Structure 1
Amino acid sequence: MAPNKSMEGVENHTSVAMFILLGLSDEKELQLILFPVFLGIYLGTLLWNLCLIIVIKINSNLHTPMYLFLSSLSFIDICYSSSISPRMLSDFLRDEKTISFMACATQYFVGAWMGLAECCLLAAMAYDRYVAIGSPLQYSAIMVPGRCWKMIAGACASGFLTSLVHVLPCFNLSYCGPNIIQHFLCDITQVISLSCSNPFMCQMIVFLVAMFMGLGSLFVILLSYGFIAASILKIYSVKGSAKAFNTCVSHLAAVTLFYSTCLSVYMHPGSSHSMKHKVLSIFYVIFIPLLNPLIYSLRNKDIKEALMRLIKRQHIYFSKNNIWAAIITIRKREASICK
């Protein structure tokens, strides 16, 4: 029986040990300009999200379901951005932008995990707003801390499992070369297109995950806001309606930014090599984790007041330290004069 030539060809090829990321641009001067810009954005992302987590943690009046979800969102955004940004920043300063096969798989797995968990968490936050507006008298009984933590754990577990479901088969395909990814990150659609195996099944899995998790969570959000709109219309007071709607504005803005970019990227896998794909990827990977804490904090009176109290507390602390340092210095000088 004649051997299968196609299989022989695959077996004779050396398997790919690393990929080459082409990045945003191959111009060295432009890369040196982009490095401080994206470094500032990444540091700002870490600072704002960590600050929001700390403010919510130390203020007892912010220990409510809405702020618990918000601090969890900030933690996910930190992990999400950190899965991509440090690698991208280091590539700006390197001539050879290589990444090992395992590092590429890990980068995508963590990024997909955090992104899918964020989809579920945004849906949980929409449900929280629906209960707060639709059933205000029963809110504290329904959204108990234990249930909130279960929803957060469920979001993280769902993101982990669905990420694992499509990462394992996609990175278990045969990769014989070429190994060039025309992106600044390990984009799954480009990675599987480099496979020597038939990538159709993996492409379908990626598409179905995007449909199930992306559109599924978006459906829950839209359904929740449909009930919220119906509840607001029942409020006869214009002031009361405006106040109820105002509690949803920040979440609506975050949802619009996240889903409009993510779905446009992952629901059109054929355009993964285009510059538009890269720009959209920059927006949802780099900018959205920075914008989320700003959107929620700048429009939220409670968070702004808590931030001001924290700043004043730190100012008083450092002022006291400066006074004590001055007193100690004066006493040392007096002691040396007496000697």
Structure 2
Amino acid sequence: MGSVTSLNPRYVLLPLLLVLAATATTKANAFLPRPRIGYYGSACWNVESIVRSVVQSNFITNPANAPGILRMHFHDCFVQGCDGSVLLDGPNSERTAIPNLSLRGFNVIEEAKTQLEIACPRTVSCADILALAARDFVVLTGGPWWPVPLGRLDGRVSLASNVDLPEPTDSVEVQKQRFAAKNLNTQDLVVLAAGHTIGTVGCGVFRDRFFNYNNTGSPDPTINPSFIPQIQSQCPLNGNPATRVALDTGSEGQFDTSYLNNLRFGRGVLESDQVLWNNPETRPIVERLLGIRFPFLLFGPEFARSMYKMSLIQVKTGLDGEIRRVCSAVNP
């Protein structure tokens, strides 16, 4: 991986039609400003460089911030849209929901917000900072760059009861339904799931699959038999459920197609990941991303395209939100 002192765009291949489609307004909200490239202009001309600098320093300190912030962005967008609601702290907030208890990197977003409040007071939303940080962390792991439309507002509501995220045991059909509800298609599902090319997962999330799948007393038969002892040794039956293992065995710190190749050979850690190879609808997409089925899909550009789409889920504008002074609390 190259130097972390600069983020050179590597995959700026998003077609114009995508940009136009993703930023189109609905008739009901046509009068409201929508997120767009260069939204802040002279009001905060250096917003991206400030966020980038914070991301770089925190990546050097702790590379695990990369998958942490990417996951946080996903969890934010899939609950009430990309409005920074996952950043709000307090009793019964989204952060207290079980799927969010292991989120990391909140300090990175607050650090960027602090610097932006000095440079551009009350101008840049926490939701925009999170979207930019997720992109910049992906780049530092060797992944693609993509243009991030800006202009989201921060939500004022954050409730644990609203958190309904994809589960590690979801079938392809259930995953498709969850993604379709966010206007994301089946290809987006596969491509975004492949974000698991970086990061780790706690043993308690998936351990039963390797020991007692569906109460059968045996591992999931779709797992490659040679992979079972490796994971069982990392996550013993009576071990600490918080112990973390790589989602992409052997390449958890590098953005690449290793995760997809692991699915091909039955080495997916999560059931919801492995079924993407076993299902007749999603398997061809994985094969195209791996370059073993024509027409080929380039993983980097496709991931950038799907992240662009995801970052615009149910964005808040106009009177729907605010620009928070701190990311962990609504404005007084």
What TM-score do the two structures reach when normalised by structure 1? Answer: 0.28
Q: State TM-score, norm by structure 2.
A: 0.28
